[in-house]
Structure 1
Amino acid sequence: MTHDAVRLDSVTRAYGHVTALDTVSLAFPAGTFTAVMGPSGSGKSTLLQCAAGLDRPTSGSVTVGGTELTGLGERRLTLLRRERVGFVFQAFNLLPSLTAEQNVALPLRLAGRRVPADRVRQALRQVGLADRARHRPAQMSGGQQQRVALARALITRPDVLFGDEPTGALDTRTGREVLGLLRGMVDREGQTVVMVTHDPVAAAHADRVVFLVDGRVSGELTGAGADTIATRMTRLEAVPC
């Protein structure tokens, strides 16, 4: 039976008088690919940060890999993020002085864990960069750098991989290659992926698309194409505040 890799129950996140998330309840089943979309300011990034343990909800609970995050201290929360959560950003966030293999190994080194060379090479092979292991970021294209970032996020074999506009800085062809990699990891390896995007074509790679408006869930689509997703987004953006 499929279990939930991540679960949010009545999560609210307020910053002073501004409510970024308003009693959001969502489940992300293991081995699925979910895209999160919504108008600007709808709470997409806040949702991702709360689900990944990067931000604490004002109320409600978040569970990752069967562990409820609310009661965890900072040290245990940091350990959980290192071991169970992968994160890929629009900015690749690679260290320019390190090679691809050194960037990929970094999460294990920061956790004080042994770094098996074959595991690092396997992670780079997984994203099609086995021949770029000793290249530094400046020697690679944007798409190759994002692939390194993806390998780095996967090196700990996380329960869930979060992507915050992971193809936003890439050209169309390269972006689709990265999305194809994500799709393949879900289909072949059972990886769970949750991705924020503004692009209906990117969202169409997901199994389902969850829509947020004003910090609340405003429906979802399953198995939808880019045109259907774009039409739904157009309607949401046309709704007056």
Structure 2
Amino acid sequence: MTALDRVSLTIPKGTFTAVMGPSGSGKSTLLQCTAGLDRPTSGAVMLGDTDLTKLSETKLTLLRRGRIGFVFQAFNLLPSLTAEQNVALPLRLAGRRPKRSTVLGVLEQVGLRERAGHRPSEMSGGQQQRVALARAIVTRPEVLFGDEPTGALDSQTSREVLALLRGMVDRGQTVIMVTHDPVAASYADRVLFLADGQVHDELHAPSAEQVASRMTRLSVVPC
């Protein structure tokens, strides 16, 4: 079975792209290939001038640590560490000594500087996801990938996190997000619709209603 079939696309720098599609359409595979987590059996994945498919596992790991950020539905925070320590972790893993001012500055960017000394169990789900977002951007990644980043949040908290992502894009960050939520997708500049491993449609500057309508049509695309 082919997960992705002759998919060719360009994600412009400093844009917000949402990826949607029915279950099994290839959304997660596309995200994992573009983020360097999986290797495609053919083709190339370019991050700037770097072809991720040509890198060794060691070089790919180093690239992901320095040039790519991840935010998932599960917050994946270490429960024994404070928010500040969780955010500093990617820098430590990269062999860099994190400056406290840098870490606190990123926490301030997501509105949680005053929670720097709190552990995950002392924070709400929305606050934990914002810490996860701060952790993802502390290395100043070229691309931030989100896999259903608001899937575990209530609607109000989800909008707050999406507004943070939108604000980062408006300041030059590149974001690629897989989502099933038309409201979440409406925060993006472009929505790509996948079906059967191919890009079947796209929308620019979408509304939630337009996204929902396209998804309804996509669900009846013949195999």
TM over 0.5: yes
1: CA distance, partners of 2:172 / 2:48: 14
**Correspondences of 1:1-241 after superposition (within 5 Å):** 18-187=1-170, 189-241=171-223
For each residue in 1:160-194, what CA deviation from the matched residue of structure 2 results, as whole angstroms up to 9, or x when unmatched? Answer: 0000000000000000000000000111x200000
For each residue in 1:146-170, what CA deviation from the matched residue of structure 2 results, as whole angstroms up to 9, or x when unmatched? Answer: 0000000000000000000000000
2: CA distance, partners of 1:97 / 1:22: 43
Higher RCO by CA contacts (8 Å cutoff, separation 6 or greater) = 2
2: CA distance, partners of 1:168 / 1:122: 26
Post-superposition offset of 1:240: 3.8
Following TM superposition, the consecutive aligned residue runs of length 4 or more in structure 1 with deviations greater than 6 angstroms are: none
1: CA distance, partners of 2:206 / 2:137: 27
Alignment-mate amino acid for residue 203 of structure 1: A
Question: What is the RMSD computed on CA atoms of the aligned residues?
Answer: 0.7
Unaligned runs of 5+ in 1: 1-17
1: CA distance, partners of 2:96 / 2:210: 45
Unaligned runs of 5+ in 2: none
Greater Cα offset, 66-75 or 86-95: 66-75
Post-superposition offset of 1:197: 0.4
2: CA distance, partners of 1:76 / 1:65: 15
TM-score of the superposed pair, with normalisation by structure 1: 0.91
2: CA distance, partners of 1:66 / 1:100: 34
| Equivalent pairs, count | 223
**1:3 match:** none
Q: What secondary structure does 1:29 align onto?
A: coil
Post-superposition offset of 1:101: 0.5
2: CA distance, partners of 1:90 / 1:176: 14
Tell whether the 8 Å contact from 1:200 to 1:226 is kept in structure 2 after alignment: yes
1: CA distance, partners of 2:220 / 2:157: 31
Tell whether the 8 Å contact from 1:65 to 1:84 is kept in structure 2 after alignment: no
Q: What secondary structure does 2:191 align onto?
A: strand
